[in-house]
Amino acid sequence: EAGVAQSPRYKIIEKRQSVAFWCNPISGHATLYWYQQILGQGPKLLIQFQNNGVVDDSQLPKDRFSAERLKGVDSTLKIQPAKLEDSAVYLCASSLEEAEAFFGQGTRLTVV
């Protein structure tokens, strides 16, 4: 069974530029999550989708972050414009109902 795929693995941008991350969840997993993991901290939820609907985006900085999940499968997370404090690893995960989440390898973003 293929795992959660994310791209790119690494990205370096200058502040005020825009960036986008892509995630392909495990086939059949209705729930998709985007987490932000700052160095030395636990992952923090940015947004949770159920199929192509948003379940929870309460911690998403909506003035600069956006996410979509078209057709209930792949998802993209965008940051525009980026700030220095956005430097982190962005993790995508997917799960079945009432089960564990499976994580991708993450995208390490460095904003300079």
Partner 1 sequence: AQSVAQPEDQVNVAEGNPLTVKCTYSVSGNPYLFWYVQYPNRGLQFLLKYITGDNLVKGSYGFEAEFNKSQTSFHLKKPSALVSDSALYFCAVRAYNYGQNFVFGPGTRLSVLP
Q: Which residues bind partner 1 (CB under 8 A)?
A: 4, 31, 33, 35, 40-45, 48, 50, 55-56, 91, 93, 97-106, 108
Q: In terms of Cα–Cα distance, which of 37, 61, 59 is closest to 48?
A: 59
Report in angstroms how near the CB of residue 31 gets to partner 1 at its nearest. Answer: 8
Q: Which is nearer to partner 1, 36 or 82 (CB)?
A: 36
Report in angstroms how near the CB of residue 17 gets to partner 1 at its nearest. Answer: 23
Q: Residue length, the chain?
A: 112
State how far the Cα of 52 lies from the Cα of 80, in Å rounded to an integer: 22
Q: Which is nearer to partner 1, 27 or 41 (CB)?
A: 41
Residue linked to tokens 């929870």:
56
State how far the Cα of 46 lies from the Cα of 92, in Å rounded to an integer: 10
> Could you say which DSSP state residue 85 is in?
G
Report in angstroms how near the CB of residue 81 gets to partner 1 at its nearest. Answer: 27
Q: Which is nearer to partner 1, 14 or 45 (CB)?
A: 45
> Could you say which DSSP state residue 63 is in?
T
Report in angstroms how near the CB of residue 104 gets to partner 1 at its nearest. Answer: 5
